[in-house]
Every structure is written in C-alpha cells, then in structure tokens.
C-alpha cells in the first residue's frame, strides 16, 4: 500500500483506538506512525500496544513507526483546604514550602527548584495560563506574587514558568523508568517533553545508545531561544503548540511554528506539527474550517508530519479524524501553489558529497520527469538527505534493516521498503527497478534514479547515482 501524499500522519493511541482492529483501521485511513503518550500509559499497557502495532505491521506488510512520548517534569501546586479558592486581580498570593493546605492567601509549592529559581518580575502561569501571577519578592522559601489575571485556583493545578530557567533536566525519575521500558519494547522514536536547553537531550541520548531516535518537543521559550543548538543534538523536532501557547503569547505561536519548521528543514531533521489540529473532531464528525486551514498551513510549510492527539486517542471519531487529515493533506499537495511554496523554502546543500548527490538526484529526477528516487540506506542518513531536498517525485527508501525503515516512516515523501542488501551494483539496480514496479512507483519503460553508497554497506557514504529503466534488462 502506497500513500498518495508526502506529509506523514502521526496518530496518538488511547482508549478510543487501542484495539488491534482499530489500529488497523487507523493505518488504512492514513496513519503512518503511532504515538504512545506515557503520561497516560503504564509499562504493561505500553508493551501490549507495541505488540498490537507490530501485529498490524506484519499484516499490512508495511513498516510502521512507534513514538513514545515521555511525560517530562509536571510542576503542580499543592491542595487547598476548600479544594478551590477565588482570587481577585491585584491581590497578593504566595507560593511557599509549607505543606499545609492552601488558602486564598497562599498554597504549597512542592518544587524547591522553582522556589530557588524564580526572581522578582518573573511570571507564573497556573492551570494552562488561566491564572497569571507576577513575582514581587522571592527568598528561596516562598514567592510573593500579585494576581495579574484570572479569578481562581484549585488543587494540583499545573505551573508554567515562561521567564524562569529551571536547574532541572528534562528527565524525571518516572521518565527514566519509562525510557528504559520503551527502549526494551523496541519503539523507534522517543519524544522528550519540556526541553529547555541542548544539555537536556544528552542524558536521553546516553541511555538510548542509538536504540531509538530522540525527538525534542519545543514547548518552552527557553527552547525557542536556543533552537539551533537543540536541533543539532536532536534527531527530530515536535512543535508542541499547546504548552508553547501557554508560555508564550498565543499570537506568537504561528510565527514560531514557521521558524521551527524552516530551521528543521534546513538542518535535514524531521519536524512534526502537533496539538489541537482537528480538536473539534473529538466530539464532532467534521472539523471547523479554521482547523482545516491550520492543517493545510503545516502541509504547505513542508512539515514532515502532522499529529492527532485526543482526536484519535480518546475522541468519538478517531478513524474519521485520520481520514480527514489524509484528505486535507492530499488536496493541499495537489494545489497549484504547493510546489512553488515548497521549492521557495529549499535551502542550499551542505558542502558534502552525499548532499551534492542528493541535490543532483532531485534535479535529474525533476528535469527528466523520472518516476521515483530510489535510495539505498542502511543507517537512514541517505533517506534523510533525499527528503531534505523535498523532491516533486516520490522517494523510495530501501533498507535491509527493519528498524531503519520504521524510523523513516516519519519522513516527508518517503516510502520505506525492507529489502535484502544488494550483492553488487547490477543486483542493486535490478532490485531497485523490481521494487519500483511492485510498489507502484513505475511501470515498464519508466525511468528511476538510484542513489547509494559504494562500497555497499558503508553508512553515510552516499556517492553513486544511476538512472535505470523499470522492467527492462538494460540499465
């Protein structure tokens, strides 16, 4: 089964979509990668879900990627004597290290790292920004604030700190345990929540040791400020617009989304646009016009993947949501303006042989109107370089390694096929042409262009281009 679109669809699985039958329906509706949210999934259920996805993968005969999304540090206030309290704009309110139940004047904050880091003038956003406080005085044990906006506070509400750089890593004890479990289960991608600085990626990389690729979720102003360094140390990015829109002005988020998408494309790293893309489809069978526009903008921008969260995990219409996303993306990619927008954002290749080969492959394929670019890739690097070029023709990534094919299922315009390694150059060309025919990327007489590294099985050594005829013995 081949997709008729370049952008990939990432579907979160949850109570509405965790059965094997439903996972199969979501794949057939257009889901390319499944996301398991570890905020709501214990290890036993995670292993069950991975097993079911792999069963579906075997049944459909296509590599399917799995992304495990780690919860990250959840910062919350304590409890109140009356569960909730009304507050007035302009009043004083204190967060402190006293574990007694809260009142309308104060509440316990069980996070010494916040108490020691917040300074006068910093903002504290409670309950997804519904309550805004501004620190007036901080002494390491308490933070005295003024209520800037909002009218109340209740038990265990989350705290966001847009102005404060916290001296904590992105991995909590729960995250470390979850990371060990998802790596043992064989997931392909791990998403890190609330990344603030490039160093936050180092611990996860050390633990993963290449067993899964690391995706940095950009949802804090501190991460936006150090985006270039974070991109360098990550394998992919997610624009997590929910928390980004809490910690930064909502009107700034669309521009930041474009900045992140373009920076990731320049670096040749996959980028996922996430959060509230078809939010109304949690309860309605059709989306709003604004949501359709939102999804289409991400596709026009050249994002690698667009993501569904609660729509597919807990909504009433999970299959319809995936199907709608598929229809929107397919329609956008056939729009007359699409190719021009994608081409206008193309960046210069790096000064390496592999990048030059990938650029040449795209230009030759588009000039000669070839049927496909076929890339042999063991590590996935050749596939990444081919996708960075955003060619108008499909990319077929051939890999002898199933894990590589699963990882590349997130990649823009890339159709992954697991194939035995070629024995020599002639076998490489014959195999590529046969697979192009079998997978529907060419008919007899069509031409394809093949990229590979010679000698074979040398990672990252893309240095060969070959034009070949499909269904012919002459190459």
Report CA torsion sign: 30, 381, 180, 406. positive
Catalytic residue among 41, 275, 377, 404: 275
Please indicate whether residue 275 is annotated as part of the active site.
yes
Task: Note if 269 is an active site residue.
Answer: no
Which residue in the list 5, 6, 8, 35 is annotated as catalytic?
Answer: 35
**Rounded Cα distance, 303 and 272, in Å:** 6
**Of 217, 220, 265, 447, which one is the catalytic site residue?**
217
Whether residue 25 lies in the annotated active site: no
Active site residue 381: no
- Which of the following is catalytic: 3, 24, 74, 76? 76
The full 3-state SS of the chain, as one line of letters, equals CCCCCCCEEEEEECCCCCCHHHHHHHHHHCCCEEEEECCCCCHHHHHHHHHHHHHHHHHHCCCCEEEEECCCCCCECCCECCCEEECCCCCEEEEECCCCCECCCEEECCCHHHHHHCCCCCEEEECCCCEEEEEEEECCCEEEEEEEECCEEECCCEEECCCCCCCCCCCCHHHHHHHHHHHHHCCCEEEECCCCCCHHHHHHHHHHCCCCEEEEEECCHHHHHCHHHHHHHCCEEEEEHHHHHHHCCHHHHHHHHHHHHHHHHHHCCCEEEECCCCHHHHCCCCCCHHHHHHHHHHHHCCCCEEEECHHHHCCCCHHHHHHHHHHHHHHHHCCCCHHHHHHHCCCCCCCCHHHHHHHHHHHHHHHCCCCCEEEECCCCHHHHHHHHCCCCCCEEEEECCHHHHHHHCCCCCEEEEECCCCCCHHHHHHHHHHHHHHCCCCCCCCEEEEEEECCCCCCCCEEEEEEEECCCCCC
Catalytic residue numbers, as ranges: 35, 76, 217, 275
């Amino acid at each position: 089964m081949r997709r008729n679109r370049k952008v990939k669809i990432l579907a979160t699985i949850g109570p509405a979509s965790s059965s094997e039958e439903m996972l199969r329906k979501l794949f057939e509706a257009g889901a390319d990668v499944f996301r398991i949210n570890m905020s709501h999934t214990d290890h036993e259920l995670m292993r069950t879900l991975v097993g079911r996805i792999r069963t579906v993968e075997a049944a459909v005969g296509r590599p399917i990627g799995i992304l495990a999304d780690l919860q990250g540090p959840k910062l919350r206030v304590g409890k109140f004597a009356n569960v909730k309290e009304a507050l007035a704009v302009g009043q004083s309110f204190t967060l402190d290290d006293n574990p007694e139940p809260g009142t309308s004047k104060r509440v316990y904050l069980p996070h010494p790292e916040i108490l020691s880091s917040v300074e006068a003038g910093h903002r504290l956003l409670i309950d997804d920004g519904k309550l805004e406080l501004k620190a007036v005085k901080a002494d390491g044990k308490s933070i005295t604030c003024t209520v800037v906006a909002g009218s109340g506070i209740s038990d265990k509400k989350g705290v966001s700190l847009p102005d404060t750089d916290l001296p904590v890593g992105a991995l909590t004890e729960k995250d470390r345990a979850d990371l060990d479990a998802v790596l043992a289960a064989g997931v392909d991608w791990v998403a890190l929540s609330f990344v603030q600085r490039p160093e936050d990626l180092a611990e996860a990389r050390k633990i993963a040791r290449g067993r899964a690729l690391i995706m940095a979720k950009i949802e804090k102003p501190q991460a936006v400020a150090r985006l270039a360094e974070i991109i360098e140390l990550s394998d992919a990015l997610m624009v997590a617009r929910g928390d980004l829109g809490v910690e930064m002005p909502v009107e700034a988020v669309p521009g930041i989304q474009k900045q992140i998408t373009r920076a990731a494309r320049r670096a040749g790293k996959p980028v996922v646009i996430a959060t509230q893309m078809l939010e109304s489809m949690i309860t309605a069978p059709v989306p709003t016009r604004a949501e359709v526009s939102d999804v289409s903008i991400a596709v026009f921008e050249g994002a690698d993947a667009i993501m569904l969260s609660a729509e597919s995990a807990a909504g009433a219409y999970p299959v319809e949501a995936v199907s709608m996303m598929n229809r929107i993306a397919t329609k956008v990619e056939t729009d007359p303006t699409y190719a021009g927008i994608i081409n206008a954002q193309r960046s210069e290749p790096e000064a390496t042989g592999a990048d030059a080969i990938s650029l040449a492959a795209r230009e030759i394929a588009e000039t000669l109107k070839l049927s496909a670019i076929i890339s042999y890739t063991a590590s996935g690097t050749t596939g990444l370089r081919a996708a960075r070029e955003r060619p108008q023709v499909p990319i077929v990534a051939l890999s002898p390694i199933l894990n590589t094919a699963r990882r590349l299922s997130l990649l823009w315009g890339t159709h992954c096929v697991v194939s035995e390694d070629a024995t020599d150059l002639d076998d490489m060309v014959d195999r590529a042409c046969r697979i192009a025919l079998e997978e529907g990327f060419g008919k007899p007489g069509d031409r394809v262009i093949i990229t590979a590294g010679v000698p074979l099985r040398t990672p990252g050594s893309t240095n060969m281009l070959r034009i070949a005829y499909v269904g012919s013995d002459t190459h």
